[in-house]
Structure 1
Amino acid sequence: MRSILVLFLLLLIVACQSPQEPVSMQEDVVYLASDSLMGREVGTAGELMAADYIASRFEQLGLQPKGSENYFQDFAFKPSLNPHEEVEAVDTLGDGMVSGRNVVGYRDNGAEYTVVIGAHYDHLGMGGEGSLHRGEPAIHNGADDNASGVALMMNLANRLQEVNTNSNYLFIGFSGEESGLLGSAFYVRNPTIDTKKVRYMINLDMVGRLKDSTVAVNGVGTSSTFKQTLFANNDMGLTISEFESGIGPSDFTSFYLADIPVLSFFTGQHEDYHKPEDDSDKINYAGMELLSDYIMNIITDLDDEGELAFRKTKNESEEVPAFKVGLGVVPDYLFTGEGMRIDGISEDKPAQKAGLQKGDVVKKLGELDVTDMMTYMKALSTFENGQTTVVTIERDGELIEVEVTF
């Protein structure tokens, strides 16, 4: 009963807000990450409730419906039990298939080119494959992943009313991201605007845990304009961890593969990732406001650039070596120093058993130097299950050697 009351009150907030009192990012996150939506898994009632909410927010923000049916674009797919088998979304629901729903809104400024701003809204429901939770099934609310991205998308949609009008703006809430970028891939194959007239795409995925003022930006190499623009507009003291590739584990990949320049923003991994503990009370809302200011600076700078030249980048994921063992740690993907900094420790894994701690920086695995994530993975790929080696870490400025058994 309490969750139903919370849902009613939040929908009432959306209905009653005036244009002078926009819904805050916190209100959006709290609703999307509430237990009432049961983790927003694609193909569930919770996903449809989230889609309805996003559509109502698009309407409130004055966005035109731009789905295949009003604000919605439905797709279908057949789930696979094989994690290495590629799943494809189609437009017809058949036997044994699951339906998903993208939500699409459009701000038409009468411009020649359009900027796409997207964020996935689906999550893991009660857990299942992809969850890092160990124990009884529990609601995975996904406040950071990715209610935060949807809330920031709404914030930008509000801020882009009657400003930066040299572009139109297409806002998309993608579903099926957790099942393999299904919604974004389906949209690119079945667009509701001319994708040849898309200047660039901004993706927002896990943007709610800004720490140490560090933000990762993927796709920096997909247009020659991006790098200068990112650093010229950083007047808020952010540390930018830049990645050239347009290929990565989020929806920007689908647009890059359609030869569209992309920028994807991410505030870092954390111990609550894909666990029930990813709740709205852990979100850094002030950090989201800072990131919104930064992205608005970028959009403003690019507003009179015209068409951006697309550039192919190296697929960094193809260089990742296969490995049979793991330390059982969450890497700090935003770390820009030398080595691989540990951002979290998994229970009952080699790292925990060896006494490694969050904040330790791995410098060597055996005799192999670790200078970044790639050298860490290459070094890890040389070990077999059951092997013991010495791991050299830096802790509080001192080098420590620890024996680890895989």
Structure 2
Amino acid sequence: MQEDVTFLADDALKGRQTGTEGEQLAAEYIAKRFEELGLEPKGDNQSYFQEFTFRPSSNPHEQAEFADSENDSTQTGINVVGYLDHNAASTIVIGAHYDHLGLGGEGSLYREGEAIHNGADDNASGVAVMLDLARRLSENKKNNYLFIGFSGEEMGLLGSSYFVKNSTIDLEQINYMINMDMVGRLNTERTVAVHGVGTSPVFKQTLFASNTFDLNIAEHESGIGPSDHTSFYLADIPVLHFFTGQHSDYHKPGDDADKLNYDGMQIISDYIYGVINELSNQGKLAFRKTKNESEVVPEFKVTLGVVPDYLFTGKGMRIDGVSEDKPAIKAGLKKGDIVVKMGEYDVTDMMSYMKTLSKFEKGEKTIVTVKRGEQPLEVEVEF
């Protein structure tokens, strides 16, 4: 896995932006690895590649869109698709996007000009775990397995959306889909966020039964999220999405291969392998629609100016980072502080934090109570 990440996150690929030569080199590398692992080509025209044409957006508030034909204003993305055919009744899709941000651009959080964004965690890590699973699942003949390296994720889930609309296998054959996006930085608390847990009734028990690795699982019900599993969920396919969390190098040039936790990646691979094994005895999984968690978020007019820790499973909202010149940093709040109260309102989790924020107006002041270590601390915040 370390070799795969090191290749994909090398400066020579210049950030693997969709439609660039660097992304094409990455696609060719993944196809070569599929071939080495004995996967059949399952793209178009008996190749590993499924190409799609799109028109990039010049407006940062609009996504790129598909185009029917190539011209000067269009670019081409490439999904890489390999198949393990075990003549089984059903097929499991295992996917990870391999594109990234190139030299920066709209998706970047780096503010100091152009620089190569190597995307080691985002998402060479997911591709490496996918390839590790492809190696191991060649011996597990209870299912067929379709492995997909998606292009165009950073531009709006282009590759996965295109695949679902132009699938190279019958969608009815697909039992469920597993997605891995940013699985390279398992933390000391061994916390893994798993999204889509509510998309089939059997997932919760399976995730619990397969956790022989002392992992702390942060469960999220919704099948909708900012990664490629969403495209499959919208086609009524159960999904599980694995994620080891945000960090300060996210969408910045510092997301490099030497910062990944490769032992942690092996644990993630082992865990997902166990989940697949456990699900192999369940037959065809029932699909269940879930609430879109992003739609039930209340509107708010103010911000605290923090990055929430989406892996935190305790009581409150733990701060994973603070933004410059925002209320939190001015009040002295720090990464690691756990917000437990804002004004008269208790904060027990992410949703209650957002509901509480919606109650404040710009210019208002309030007392925010946080836990710093074991000590409660009260600070005044002005929004």
Same fold (TM over 0.5): yes
Query: How far apart in 1 are the matches of 2:297 and 2:311?
Result: 18
2:320 maps to 1:340: no
Q: Is the alpha carbon distance of 1:293 and 1:110 closer, same or farther for their aligned partners in structure 2, counting shifts above 3 Å?
A: same
Give the corresponding residue for 2:147.
Answer: 171
Unmatched tracts of structure 2, length 5 or more: none
Partner of 1:104, secondary structure, is strand
Within 2, Cα distance between the matches of 1:350 and 1:81? 32
* Alignment pair present for 1:236 and 2:207: no
Q: Distance in 1 between matches of 2:61 and 2:375?
A: 41
- The alpha carbon displacement at 1:104 in A equals 0.5
2:117 aligned residue: 140
Is 1:351 aligned to residue 325 of structure 2?
no
Q: Percent identity?
A: 68
Is 1:214 aligned to 2:220, yes or no? no
TM-superposed deviation, 1:379: 2.1
Once residues 93 and 230 of structure 2 are traced to their aligned partners in structure 1, the CA distance between those partners, rounded to angstroms, is 13
Query: Counterpart of 1:188 in 2: which secondary structure?
Result: helix
Matched, 1:248 2:232: no
Alpha-carbon separation, structure 2, partners of 1:98 and 1:377 = 39
Alignment partner for residue 354 of structure 2, among 361, 377, 381? 377
| CA offset digits 1:79-115 (Å, max 9, x no partner) | 2244443543345323422221111111111112100
- Decide whether the 8 Å contact of 1:89 with 1:183 is kept in 2: no
- Give the match's secondary structure for 2:65: coil
Amino acid paired to 1:275: K
2:166 is the counterpart of 1:190: yes
Which residue matches 2:11? 35
1:403 equivalent in alignment to 2:380: yes
Task: Quickly say closer, same or farther: Cα 1:75–1:324, change in 2 above 3 A.
Answer: farther
Return the alpha-carbon distance in structure 2 between the equivalents of residues 97 and 323 of structure 1. Answer: 37
Match in the other structure for 1:11: none
Deviates more, 1:395-404 or 1:35-44: 395-404
The answer to whether the aligner puts 1:388 opposite 2:345 as a matched pair is no
Gaps of 5+ in 1: 1-24
Amino acid at match of 2:134: A
Contact 1:115–1:200 under 8 Å retained in 2: yes
Deviations 1:234-264 (A, max 9, x none): 1111111111111111100000000101000
Q: Which residue of 1 aligns with 2:126?
A: 149
Give SS of 1:154's match. helix
Contact 1:204 1:264 in 2 (8 A): yes
Of Structure 1 and Structure 2, the greater helix share is in: 1
Q: CA deviation at 1:265?
A: 0.4
CA distance in 2, matches of 1:321, 1:239: 28
Aligned equivalents of 2:64, 2:101: Cα separation in 1 = 17
Shift of 1:388: 3.4
For residues 362 and 109 of structure 2, the distance between their equivalents in structure 1, rounded to whole angstroms, comes to 21
In 2, the alpha carbon distance for the partners of 1:310 and 1:366 equals 41
Rounded Cα–Cα distance in structure 2 between residues aligned with 1:388 and 1:142: 39
- The answer to whether residue 168 in structure 2 is matched with residue 203 in structure 1 is no
Q: Deviations over 1:290-332 (max 9, x none)?
A: 1111111111111232211111111111112233432222211
* Residue 248 of structure 2 is aligned to residue 271 of structure 1: yes
Residue aligning to 1:71: 48
Give 1:66's aligned amino acid: K
Alignment of 1:93-132 (within 5 A): 93-132=70-109
Instruction: Give 1:233 shift.
Output: 1.1
Q: Distance in 1 between matches of 2:355 and 2:110?
A: 27
Aligned equivalents of 1:349, 1:93: Cα separation in 2 = 45
**TM-score, normalized by length of structure 2?**
0.96
Task: List per-residue Cα deviations over 1:51-88 (Å, max 9, x = no partner).
Answer: 11111111111111111141111112222244443543
d(CA) in 2 for partners of 1:306, 1:90 = 38
The one-letter code matched in structure 2 to 1:108 is D
Letter in 1 for 2:262: Y
Give me the whole-angstrom Cα distance separating, in 2, the residues matched to 1:324 and 1:84. Answer: 19
Aligned partner of residue 135 in structure 1, secondary structure? coil
In 1, the alpha carbon distance for the partners of 2:131 and 2:256 equals 19
Amino acid at match of 2:312: F
Given the superposition, is the C-alpha separation of residues 138 and 61 from structure 1 closer, same or farther in structure 2, using an over 3 Å criterion? same
Take 2:100 and 2:347, find their aligned partners in 1: how far apart are those partners?
Answer: 33
> Which stretch of the first structure deviates more once superposed, 145-154 or 330-339?
330-339
Aligned residue for 2:297?
A: 320
d(CA) in 2 for partners of 1:307, 1:91: 35
The structure-2 alpha-carbon separation of the partners of 1:384 and 1:52, relative to structure 1 and needing over 3 Å to count, comes to farther
Q: Which amino acid is the alignment partner of residue 160 of structure 2?
A: S
Does residue 59 of structure 1 match 2:35?
yes
Task: Tell me the CA shift for residue 37 of structure 1.
Answer: 0.9
Q: State the alpha-carbon separation in 2 of the partners of residues 372 and 175 from structure 1.
A: 34
